[in-house]
Amino acid sequence: MELKRVVVTGLGALSPIGNDVATTWENARNGVSGAAPITRFDASKFKTQFACEVKDYNPADHFDRRQMRQLDLYAMFALTAADEAIADAGLDGEGIDKNRVGVIFAAGIGGLHTLEEEAGYFAVHGEEQGPKYNPFFIPKMIADIAAGHISIAHEFRGPNYATVSACASSNNALIDAYNTIRLGYADAVVAGGAEAAVFPAGVGGFNSMKALSTRNDDAKGASRPFSGSRDGFVIGEGAAALVLEELEHAKARGAHIYAEVAGAGMSADAYHITATHPEGLGARLVMENALKDAGMKPEDIDYINLHGTSTPVGDRSEAKAIVDVFGPHAYEINLSSTKSMTGHLLGAAGALEAVLCVKTITDGVIPPTINHEEGDDDPEVDPRLNFTFNKAVEKNVDTVLSNTFGFGGHNAAVILKKFKG
């Protein structure tokens, strides 16, 4: 069976550094941080009091009152980003067989705030009033519901589900979309991820694990991947979507093609529920698997968008894995962690980073890893690696690899390349 080629024909983003793709990309290439004091709740008693929130987003601009009662914020984010990608791709136009268009949309957690509200009300009033739950509680909370809402809104009747693998979730969504199309089960898939966990349970839960930065006096400088003084990740929120499409289907309808999906890999650390393998075993395997799937050699990769969350253990193991996989070529590749600007969007991270990778290919600009200070090096990270610190680099980029690693030892990597016909 001959596998079909898969291309990217639409992009959408709602992020801490921009409420659409154009703004997000402009701020990423200019090294703008999305971190600021938390506004979604009173965080004054929390160890971490800042986050990378979506800014100036009014759900009423996108949804009517009835819809807002039925949607958790994460699903609102998902629908907004998906709408941009679908419009960009022209996927709602005439002549589209909607029975052949799918939606595979991820969330690492799902409707966390809805769960907080409903469980919190019962905890306070349950003994007196008994159970009084909103009938929308379950369908607002579950992690698959964003995919369902996107499908319903656009009448896409192809494969429709969510992928959940913590911080690797939306790369898994992209991989499933890629495989679904190249195996012939759909003509196009809206793939991506959304997350809205900047609420007490999200911040408090990650704080209890000592996973978050507590640099409250320097929110914008807190996410500093691969720097020696890094002290944890900065939680983010938002959504991103990509329209993946079978090449001949895209060409037949005259769609604009941004890039081609070249390959993908998956692996497991099989080591620990939250910590990455200290030798980067799973990270090494996932990059090797992606290269094998793409039929590429390490020397074919021009840029790696790193998982790079700014945690002490995770950054070291990823850096070690890159040296192990790429050998001498590791020192010639530009690397960067855009989480230094966007924060960590958890289940939406891979999709947002894939959007940025596509723009890297189309515009020939590699976004930086910001917040590195002279001399702030980690002695356990190879100093010969080029993390594109602090300033974007203009460079012709043909092929990019994007890494995501999630709690549970889940690893997923995607390779994108310049479309050349």
Please list the active-site residues: 167, 307, 344
Three-point CA angle 410, 313, 303, nearest 5°: 70
Q: Give the bridge partners for 402, in sequence order.
A: 305, 414
Q: Is the dihedral of CA 193, 159, 285, 329 positive or negative?
A: negative
**Residue whose token pair is 């081609």:** 260
Q: 170 in helix, strand or coil? A: helix
Q: How far is CA 15 from the centre of its chain?
A: 10
Sorted by sequence, the CB contacts under 8 Å of residue 222 that are 6+ apart come out as 35, 50, 213, 215, 231, 234, 310, 371
CA dist., res. 267 & res. 89, Å (int): 31
**Ramachandran angles phi, psi of 148, nearest 5°:** -65, -45
CA dist., res. 113 & res. 134, Å (int): 13
Between strands 160-161 and 101-106, the pairing is: parallel
Q: Give the bridge partners for 413, in sequence order.
A: 265, 403
Nearest to 193 by CA among 313, 353, 376: 353
Nearest to 146 by CA among 103, 114, 210: 103
CA of 277: how far to CAs of 145, 168, 313, 315, 390, in Å?
32, 15, 9, 11, 28
**Residue 155 falls in which region: left (phi positive, over 0), alpha (psi -120 to 50) or beta:** left
Q: Which two tokens stand for residue 169?
A: 């979730």
CA dist., res. 384 & res. 121, Å (int): 54
